Amino acid sequence: MTNSSKTKLVDPWNRTIDYLRIAVTDRCNLRCFYCMPAEGINYLPKKELLTYEEIVRLSTVFASLGIKKIRLTGGEPFLRKNFISLLEKLKAIPGIEAVHITTNGVLTFPFLNEMKNIGVDGVNLSLDSLNRENFHQITRRDEFDTVMKTLDGLLDHGFNTKINMVVMHGKNTHEVLDMARLASARKVSVRFIEEMPFNGSELSTSKQNWSHVKILEELQAAFPNLNKLESHPSNPATLYQVPDHLGNLGIIPAYSRTFCGSCNRIRLTATGSIKNCLYDEGVLDVKQVLRSGKSDEELRDILISTVHKREKDGFAAEKNRKVDKNISESMSTIGG
């Protein structure tokens, strides 16, 4: 093994992993129907979550292996106590160039100043509807106004802001164009995401109806001069822009999985498991490793060999699932 392959996470398909997504909790204050059932999921006992010390240690070891970007997600990350202190600690890790957050925006607004001071590099806000009633139907909670206030606050503070809209047949597909128009006068990236079967209960049946192809057709019909933008190869979103619009649009083929060839990410779930792919069932119980007294050097070797087991794409990862062929985890545990 060469020196550089010892200090980098490179998978068998020669993809370098430099992006770590961390689900800091599986708890949530919304009940988005595509993510979890109305009654919620069985939350993990708190002691089963990694402590902040464990997350920072793991992230530091990951950074020594070439991870440059971290995204904190959940569940709803702002439900975790002293979440801001974790942001600060992760920002201070040598080698970590960017810390991003994905949030539902319900508890976020009061923390915007602190987030700005800490230097949070970007925020993805989940917003599936611009209509209060419909937002309530989808999320099963009446928090539309709070989330819109967070959106305004993010833009006022100058955060690099992306909106995530999961496109769901018959639920919000009539709002795709209104959502796209949000990017006309605001410097925001509105991203349309194919629905995936991670709803904590039965498989979704709607995913086939609104593929990335159909989303693009819808946008092109409304905006005939839509331009395709250059984007980083590891960006799962294909980006577009309507001339003269301040923001841009993205389409993420999360179910069609056309972007796997350049995937650069690895995930830490709320259960303390490493996922090489969103569609695998967890390939390493890293919580157990962290709690077993292993040294950083040993942890580093374990992480490297975990990445060596990475499958070629999301279809291969899904096929390999042993426990649950019908994927029914909640995205709230996986972290999206």
Residues contributing to the site for ligand SF4 (CB under 6 A): 28, 30-32, 35-36, 74-76, 104, 126, 331-332
At residue 236's C-alpha, the angle toward residues 326 and 183, to 5°, is 115
126 binds ligand SAM (CB under 6 A): yes
Check residue 58 for interaction with ligand SAM (CB under 6 A): no
* Residue 96 beta carbon to ligand SAM: minimum distance, rounded to whole angstroms: 20
- By beta-carbon proximity to ligand SAM, the closer residue of 61 and 196 is 196
Q: Long-range contacts of range 296-304, CB-CB < 8 Å, 24 or more positions apart?
A: 296/57, 296/60, 296/61, 296/64, 299/58, 299/61, 300/61, 300/64, 300/65, 303/9, 303/61, 303/62, 303/65, 303/274, 304/6, 304/9, 304/65
Residue 166 sits in the site that holds ligand SAM (CB under 6 A)? yes
Alpha helices (runs of H) in the chain, residue ranges in sequence order:
3-6, 52-64, 83-91, 112-118, 132-139, 144-156, 176-185, 212-222, 286-290, 296-307, 314-319, 331-334
CA atoms within 13 A on the CB side of 84: 13
- Per-residue x/- mask for ligand SAM, residues 317 to 336, rule CB under 6 A? --------------xx--xx
d(CA 105, CA 76): 9
Cβ closest to ligand SAM, residue 129 vs residue 276: 129
Of 84-92, 178-186, 195-203, 278-286, which part binds ligand SAM (CB under 6 A)?
195-203
Q: Name the residue number minimizing CB distance to ligand SAM.
A: 336
- Torsion over CA: 166, 169, 172, 174 (sign): positive
Using CB under 6 A, which residues numbered 210 to 239 contact ligand SAM? Answer: none
Nearest approach in angstroms of CB 165 to ligand SF4 is 11
Q: Shortest gap between Cβ of 9 and ligand SF4 (angstroms)?
A: 27
| Binding-site partner at residue 115 among ligand SF4, ligand SAM, none, CB < 5 to 8 Å by type | none
Sites of contact with ligand SAM (CB under 6 A): 28, 34-35, 73-76, 102-104, 126, 164, 166, 193, 195-196, 198-199, 254, 331-332, 335-336
